[in-house]
Amino acid sequence: SQKIEQNSEALNIQEGKTATLTCNYTNYSPAYLQWYRQDPGRGPVFLLLIRENEKEKRKERLKVTFDTTLKQSLFHITASQPADSATYLCALDHNAGNMLTFGGGTRLMVKP
Amino acid sequence: EAQVTQNPRYLITVTGKKLTVTCSQNMNHEYMSWYRQDPGLGLRQIYYSMNVEVTDKGDVPEGYKVSRKEKRNFPLILESPSPNQTSLYFCASKGRSYSYEQYFGPGTRLTVT
């Protein structure tokens, strides 16, 4: 069956360090992969989209990689700040892009 | 301001009492979708709509109905709510049925007793 896995344990890092979050998937052939940020009690907010033919995408302090051979995406936040503390979700499309399946999310805590 | 709105934001109801959660977007998006979020299970898609009068099931459609009579609105209907439908519900929209990011509403926290 299709599965998306993110580290369910919280990631605690010191301010200024680089946070790296992992998203692994099985039995999918997604055309693209998305990362969202979710704060407690609020709806997810889109951050980045990377297509299957792209290896890497950057946006300000964010970087996403997508390895379709390993079936893995890595999400990096450089020079992390306490305001980056949130849950980060990866999501994969299927059914010709009409459906989006989310991983369980990884909670990031950046300590000052 | 471009946004997705949901009402109500909080709802406590009893088993079997029909309810509707409204969703509206002002971005002229063709695609709209409903998700529920539960601890340990993440976000799961309930129904989606690619355009007016076009709806289809997501991963967990049982116990829910939807309709899309207008482009901007996509209500979620629970004809006979049960306690296992206690959850946090999100509506989302995007510009095209294929590709691109979804814009989420603020969520509706539903408790069924």
A13: which strand partners?
A110
- The sign of the CA dihedral B27, B31, B36, B42 is negative
How much is the pLDDT for B98? 54
Q: CB A97 to CB B97 under 8 A?
A: yes
How much is the pLDDT for A3? 86
| Mean pLDDT value of segment A29-44 | 92
User: Cα(B92)–Cα(B101) distance, rounded to whole angstroms?
Assistant: 10
**How does residue A30 score in pLDDT terms, banded at 50, 70 and 90?**
confident
Q: CB A31 to CB B50 under 8 A?
A: no
**Phi and psi torsions of B27, nearest 5°:** -105, 5
- Chain B CB within 8 Å of residue A2 CB: no
**Phi and psi torsions of A82, nearest 5°:** -55, -30
The angle at the Cα of B12, spanning A103 to B33, to the nearest 5 degrees, equals 40
How much is the pLDDT for A9? 86
Which candidate from A93, A97, A102 shows the least CB-CB separation from B43? A102
B4: which strand partners?
B25
Strand pairing category for A62-67 and A56-59:
antiparallel
Q: Which residues of A85-111 are buried (b: 16+ CB within 10 A; e: fewer)?
A: bbbbbbbbbeeebbbbbbbbbbbbebe
- Which chain A residues are closer than 8 Å to B100 by Cβ? 49
How much is the pLDDT for A28? 82
How much is the pLDDT for B96? 66
How much is the pLDDT for B99? 55
Which candidate from B42, B98, B101 shows the least CB-CB separation from A34? B101
Q: Which A residues in the span 18-57 are in contact with B, Cβ-Cβ below 8 Å?
A: 31-32, 34, 41-46, 49
A48-99 pLDDT per residue, tens: 999 989 989 999 999 999 998 999 999 999 999 999 999 999 999 877 778 8
What is the chain B residue with the closest CA to A92?
A: B99
Where chain B has pLDDT below 70, the residues are: 96-99
**How does residue A31 score in pLDDT terms, banded at 50, 70 and 90?**
confident
How much is the pLDDT for B28? 92
User: Cα(B37)–Cα(B44) distance, rounded to whole angstroms?
Assistant: 6
Are B104 and B5 in contact, with CB atoms under 8 Å apart?
no
HEC string of B45-61 equals EEEEEEECCEEEECCCC
**How does residue A37 score in pLDDT terms, banded at 50, 70 and 90?**
very high
